Amino acid sequence: MRALLFFIVSTTILGSSLWAGTEPPAPWNIGPPIDDPVYTPAELVASFRRAFGYQHGRVWHAKGIILEGEFTPDSHAKALTKASHLQGAGCKVIVRFSNFSGVPTIPDNDPLANPRGMAIRFELPGGTSTDVVAHSYNGFPVSNTDELRELILALAASGPGAPPPNAFESFLDSHPVARKFLSEQKIPASFATIAYYGVGSFKFVNARGQAHYARYQLLPEEGEELLTQEQAQKQSADYLMDEIKARLAQTPVTFDLYAQVAESNDKTKDLSIPLPDDRKRVLLGKIQIKNITANTPEEDRALVFCPSNVPAGIETADGMSSFYSKVFRLSAKEERGVAPVAGN
């Protein structure tokens, strides 16, 4: 698995310039917005509360662990974007690994813990920041936020162990991409040994004003190490949380951050469609995770990662990232006891 992962990367990383001395192609025709939602962020939050209960925590990826480290940009990043954290100087990062479910006590080996999350905050000069939000699957189960609400409500209506046919099975029957998403989940031996893929598409603009569309990938320097379902069931309910603590007590954890660059015919706005594997990757830099933070409930509640939190030189380029950022902020307000406002 490790050899395969790094063969893919090594055969698609670019050389000293983005297009090997040629001018980049014209800006991508990425089509009309993929998401024109009927429902509000508040209604999506409510659907997650119905599925997972009101847990006084995040509506999804509720169980997690916060770490800190450093980011060192790579020289190739300048060809893609003028974003300040990718121009040469390093910066501090805050990283949160997590399980998918909105239940903060979910066992790490529960199927609803997939996909795993990795969120990164880059701390920029002047007290500003930028975020990357990723999960351990290359793609998304649905094409828009209304379908996500439908999926979560179907899960809530079916209940644990509900025999088919039920609302959830009916949804999967009519949404084969969602079924594929659920059936192809990988189970990591460690948060440090699985690849993560950015949830969102972004427009990168370099110092020459050239635009390129891309999605993030985070590849573990040690390669992937996975468990079978049988192996996972033998693990403790907190095996991932315990393992990452023990690992960091011995050595830092390193991820390579890439931008996978789209071509003109790629459907970058539809997050349920991954970019083809042969699309070029640009190494943006290395994230080295060194320490576990205090991980108090107050610290976790205060930390809200938003995919639309981007600096000059990077713009959101899909119909869902801004919507999800509103969802994250709204659920954070609820955690802190602030009355929710529809659409925030």
Q: Which two tokens stand for residue 76?
A: 């190739």
Instruction: Say how far apart CA 47 and CA 148 lie, in whole Å.
Output: 9
CB environment 133-161: b (16+ within 10 A), e (fewer): bbbbbbbbbbbbbbbbbbbbbbbbebeee
**DSSP for 106-168, written as a single string:** --TTSGGGPSPEEEEEEE-GGG-EEEEEEESSSS-S-SSHHHHHHHHHHHHHH-TTPPSS-HH
Q: Alpha carbon of 64 to those of 80, 134, 193, 316: distances in Å?
A: 32, 14, 16, 25
Q: Which two tokens stand for residue 259?
A: 């931008």
Active site residue 61: yes
| SS3 call for 189 | coil
Place of tokens 């003109």: 264
Instruction: Say how far apart CA 122 and CA 80 lie, in whole Å.
Output: 18
* Residue of 61, 135, 175, 212 marked active site: 61
Instruction: List active site positions.
Output: 61
